[in-house]
Structure 1
Amino acid sequence: MYRITKEFHFSASHQLTHLPDDHQCARMHGHNYIVEIELAAVDLNTDGFVRDYGELKPLKTYIDETFDHRHLNDVMNILTTAENMARHFYDWCAARRPETAAVRVSETPKTWAEYRP
């Protein structure tokens, strides 16, 4: 199996209002997010790629236009946890790129959440 990954970055705020008031994530706060998409294929295409990285530009456009410098609670109809965001981005990517194998989301340099079916 061949695997490639590409990172995308954005900054946004969110608030997990379902948590107790004394929980740090219940307060509005922000992150510098990293979204990492992984594509996989048994065989390479005729150019020798799983997928040309340039073909992932629609994901960058989607992230930039929909999420960058936004309040995620206003633009997403889910709890804005990294886990839910990983699933959201996976579903978006898989609908456009069948090679999508997984998506990871980082809120901090030490934390990652991944969705992989």
Structure 2
Amino acid sequence: MLFQYYPSVPHSYKYELHKDMNFAAAHFIPASSAGHCADMHGHTYVADITIVGNELDEAGFLVNFADLKKLIHGRYDHTLLNGHEEFNGAPGEESGKFPTTEVVAKQIWERIEAYLSERPNRPHCLQVLVRETPTSYVIYRP
């Protein structure tokens, strides 16, 4: 795997953790403006998740890397993204959106942040980067 450093933003937390992972998934964007992306096709997505915090847990982790992989890779790998409830609905509706790279990045952030909010050491997801192709990626920062 290529080791790569991604853009980050300044923060005052003591720890900054990055987890890179790949997942293979198909999607389509059922919109007239999507061009070829309206047809079902697949990608090997690369996601970089940035977690920050000041306190480690009882094991000495900000968060366990394996837990992050299970949350994202375990949910999306070898699936049709359009089949997940978080990607149902019309563009602009809060109930769901088409699985564009932007929306995938936001949904990954929401999934991880919900998990982190229950941890006693209170880490936060600072950003999620999703690379759809070798030349195209999106960063979501709330």
Class of the TM-score when normalised by the shorter of the 2 chains: 0.7 to 0.9
User: Are 1:16 and 2:29 an aligned pair?
Assistant: yes
Instruction: Tell me the C-alpha RMSD between the 2 structures.
Output: 2.1
Q: Which ranges of structure 2 fall in alignment gaps of 5 or more residues?
A: 1-12, 89-96, 118-123
Counterpart amino acid of residue 82 in structure 2 = N
Aligned to 1:109: 134
Q: How does 1:32-51 map onto structure 2 within 5 Å? A: 32-41=44-53, 43-45=54-56, 49-51=61-63
Q: How high is the sequence identity, in percent, across the aligned residues?
A: 31
**Cα drift, residue 104 of structure 1:** 1.3
Letter in 2 for 1:84: V
Separation of aligned partners in 2, 1:57 and 1:10: 10
- So what's the TM-score if we normalise by structure 1? 0.80
5+ residue gaps in structure 1?
none
Contact 2:101/2:137 (8 A) holds in 1: yes
Q: Which has the higher contact order (CA 8 A, sep 6+)?
A: 1
Q: Distance in 2 between matches of 1:14 and 1:51?
A: 30
Query: Which structure has greater strand proportion?
Result: 1
Deviant stretches of 4+, over 2 Å? 43-58
- How far off is 1:49 after superposition? 4.7
**Is the CA contact 2:25–2:78 (under 8 Å) kept in the aligned structure 1?**
yes
Kindly report which structure 2 residues correspond to 1:31-110, keeping only aligned pairs within 5 A, or say none: 31-41=43-53, 43-45=54-56, 49-60=61-72, 63-64=73-74, 66-75=75-84, 76-77=87-88, 78-98=97-117, 99-110=124-135
The corresponding residue for 2:91 is: none
State yes or no: 1:26 paired with 2:38: yes
Give TM-score, length-normalised by structure 2: 0.68
